Amino acid sequence: MHISLKREIKESGPGKTGLIILLLMVGVAVLAPVIAPYDPYQQSTASLLPPSWHHWLGTNQVGQDIWSRLVYGARTSLLVGFGVGILSTLLGTVFGVSAALVGGLYEKVVMRIVDAFIVIPMIIIVILISAYISPGIATLILLLSLLGWQGGARVIRAQALSLKERGHVTAAKSFGANQFYIAWRHIVPDLGPILLVDFIYGVRRAVFMEAGLAFLGISDPTVVSWGMMMRDALSFSYLNVWQWWLVPTGVALSLTIIGLTFVGHAAEPVLEPRLRGVEIA
Amino acid sequence: MAIYGDEALVAMTPELEAHLVERFALDKPLWQQFGTYFLTLFQGELGYSYYYNATVLSVILGRLPWTLLLVGTSLLLSTILGIVLGIESGWRRGSRTDRAMLAGLMSLNGFPDFFLGMLLLITFSVTWGIFPLAGALTPYSGLSGLGLLLDVLKHLFLPVAALTLAHLASGYLLTRNTMITVLKEPYMLTAKAKGLSQRVLKYRHAGRNSMLPVVTQAGIWMGRVVTGALFVEMVFAYPGVGYLTYEALLARDYPVIQGVFLIVAVSVLVINFLIDLSYPKLDPRVSHAH
């Protein structure tokens, strides 16, 4: 692994664009209370207003300020996204690395579980469970992580299998290092770039899923979410409100996913070095 | 009693409770309930939908053709287009065309299918009125023959467009990535040295070898036929299995949800098996392995 992830992203045009978009979104999410002029939950009698100086993107059917909701929606989206990214990468690393190092029956069991999860479409399980429990943010993060670590674990295991044959690992073993020490000091650090790619795709999947579930109306209705805003806007599609209600929300969601796609694509040579030097202009 | 939702508890009387317990065999032990479920499953019995008042199997089978039509068409279109664009783009890698296509298609990839669907719906149906707003057929139109076919196609166009656009990029990216690695293979140099035409080089030598991952992916996608179109079917109120799932969720019609789930799982397994069978046709090396 002598490919620097930082350089890959910096040298790729879309990679840089993606990074800028993401930083912008994170900025909006963090500074939401400063940017949003209204409380996103504050209802008023002024419903379905067109855009004006007071309400940049108008108001929705219960008189909430759409711009403020859009800004706070970034928080939900990114919180779920990054939460799932971190947790599912962590799970993938734990199971992938342990499967590679322990081997034997344990490895077989873990990898067959991974296979089973990869084959069955995640979305229908998520929908089924969400329909029962209407998950809030924390539950949703947990749910999406538990169903989303398997793909990463497969890649991580494959890489860890080759890493554990390296000389320095044998050397460490000959000094009496135990499995935990080897995993933590020698395998995981070398997995770095792969973990980052896995993380980015985990975030992207979660952002998409969160919006999708809210769009179906089966996640916690008290949380401001882009998906829910689009669902509400769609039911008023016979009015012209979609111009300032549906489109900005959809664009915000799409931009976030595009940012993640660009960064992920720029980082992909880490997994497949033969793709290198292609986008460099 | 959670099966009908908390609302049901309001209307609950002892007689109704006794009736429900008997109807769903809730007084039998769990293993016996499961055993009965499993036995009847082998007789093709998926249960009874209490919302549609029909057997689950007939409800699902009634919706399946629409989903197959919608997903099949868009899958075919997005796979073929994705492969062709990927081959062309990978062949010219690093060029301006390639970079523009890459950025454009990756951006397209970021648009969730339901957002694309809504944009198409609002532009073409609500504002311009070119295409119908919802459904798969004009109700009570009494059309037949060519008229019926045109009506179906008119309703099909926008959902297919949304799904095709949303999934074009993944096939394209995969083909382009494989294309780039394939172009560096020594046999490409040999082929070039033999003086083969560019078209043969591009499509027969490089292109065919770049298709394998896309076929796998299309197969995985095919396995997700039922769920893949869920959001788009919902936007266009297209009466497929995805929309059925959504309706069943709202109505808490669990037998239907369970039935859909089972069919998804089985079709995924069957399709994976079929893909494995088709590999040797595409890449003869596979059959020599082991």
> Residues B116-155: pLDDT tens digits?
888 888 888 777 877 777 777 777 666 777 777 788 788 8
Residues of B in contact with A119 (CB under 8 A): 223, 268-269, 272
Number of domains in chain A: 1
The reply to whether residue A274 touches residue B184, judged by beta carbons under 8 angstroms, is yes
The verdict on a CB contact (< 8 Å) between A272 and B181 is yes
Whether A207 and A257 have beta carbons less than 8 Å apart is answered as yes
CB B68 within 8 A of CB B225: yes
> What's the gap in Å between the CA of A160 and the closest CA on chain B?
24
CA A250 to chain centre: 17
Tell me whether residue A54 is in a domain: yes
Domain that holds residue A223: 19-33+46-280
| Partners of A65 in the β-ladder | A59
Buried b (16+ CB within 10 A) or exposed e, A221-230: eebbbbbbbb
Q: How far apart are CA B186 and CA B168, in angstroms?
A: 30
Round to whole Å and give the CA distance between B219 and B104.
25
DSSP assignment of B184-218, as one string? Answer: TSHHHHHHHHTT--HHIIIIIIIIHHHSHHHHHHH
Q: In whole angstroms, give the CA distance from residue B239 to residue B265.
A: 21
More confident call, B140 vs A114: A114
* A154 assigned to some structural domain: yes
Among B69, B72, B73, B90, which Cα is nearest to B213's?
B90
CA distance B277 to B290: 15
Q: Identify the CATH number of the domain in which residue A211 sits.
A: 1.10.3720.10
Question: What residue in A sits closest to B166 (Cα-Cα)?
Answer: A254
At A79 the pLDDT is: 93
Tell me the backbone φ, ψ of residue B54, rounded to 5 degrees.
-155, 170
Q: Report which of B71, B95, B97, B73 is spatially closest to residue B85, judged by C-alpha positions.
A: B97
Positive or negative torsion for Cα A53, A55, A58, A59: negative
What whole-number distance in Å separates Cα of residue B171 and Cα of residue B232?
A: 19
Which pLDDT score, from 0 to 100, does residue A257 have? 92
User: What integer is the mean pLDDT of A84-107?
Assistant: 91
pLDDT in tens, A68-94: 888 898 999 999 999 999 999 999 999
B48 φ, ψ (degrees, to nearest 5): -125, 125
Say if residues B73 and B160 touch (Cβ distance below 8 Å): yes
Whether A278 and chain B come into contact, CB under 8 Å, resolves to yes
Strand partners, B54: B49
* Cβ–Cβ gap B114/A281 under 8 Å: no
8 Å CB contact of B245 and A124: yes
Which is more confidently placed, A43 or A248?
A248
* Neighbouring-strand partners of residue A59: A65
Residue A119 lies in a domain: yes
Interatomic CA distance for residues A200 and A210, integer angstroms: 15
Is the ipTM value over 0.85, yes or no?
Answer: no
In a domain, A3, yes or no: no
Instruction: Chain B: give the shortest CA distance to residue A19, in Å.
Output: 14
Whether residue A38 is contained in a domain is answered as no
Query: Which residues from chain B sit within 8 angstroms of residue A246, using beta carbons?
Result: 118, 122
Q: At what angle do helices A188-216 and A122-133 cross, to 10 degrees?
A: 60
C-alpha pair distances (Å), A29 with each of A19, A124, B7, B279: 15, 29, 37, 47
Q: Which residues pair with B162 in a beta bridge?
A: none
Q: Write the residue in B103, B112, B122 that is nearest to A254 by C-beta.
A: B112
Separation CA B215–CA A24 (nearest Å) = 37
- In whole angstroms, give the CA distance from residue A1 to residue B249: 47
Residue with tokens 């135990």: A178
Q: C-alpha distances in angstroms, A137 versus A73, A255, B79, B249?
A: 12, 21, 36, 21
Of B25-29, B192-196, B220-224, the least confident: B220-224
Please give the pLDDT value at position A92: 93
**Is residue A6 in some structural domain?**
no
Residue A242 belongs to some domain of the structure: yes
C-alpha span between B225 and B234 (Å, rounded): 14
pLDDT at A256: 93
Q: Residue A11 domain-assigned?
A: no
Of the ranges A232-236, A255-259, B196-200, the best mean pLDDT one: A255-259
Contact by Cβ (8 Å): A117, A151: no
Token pair listed for A225: 């979410």
B208 token code pair? 């065919």
Kindly report, residue by residue over B251-268, the tens digit of the pLDDT: 877 788 888 888 877 877
Q: Which two tokens stand for residue B176?
A: 């382009």
B256: closest chain A residue by CA: A128
Q: Are B85 and B167 in contact (CB under 8 A)?
A: no
pTM: 0.81
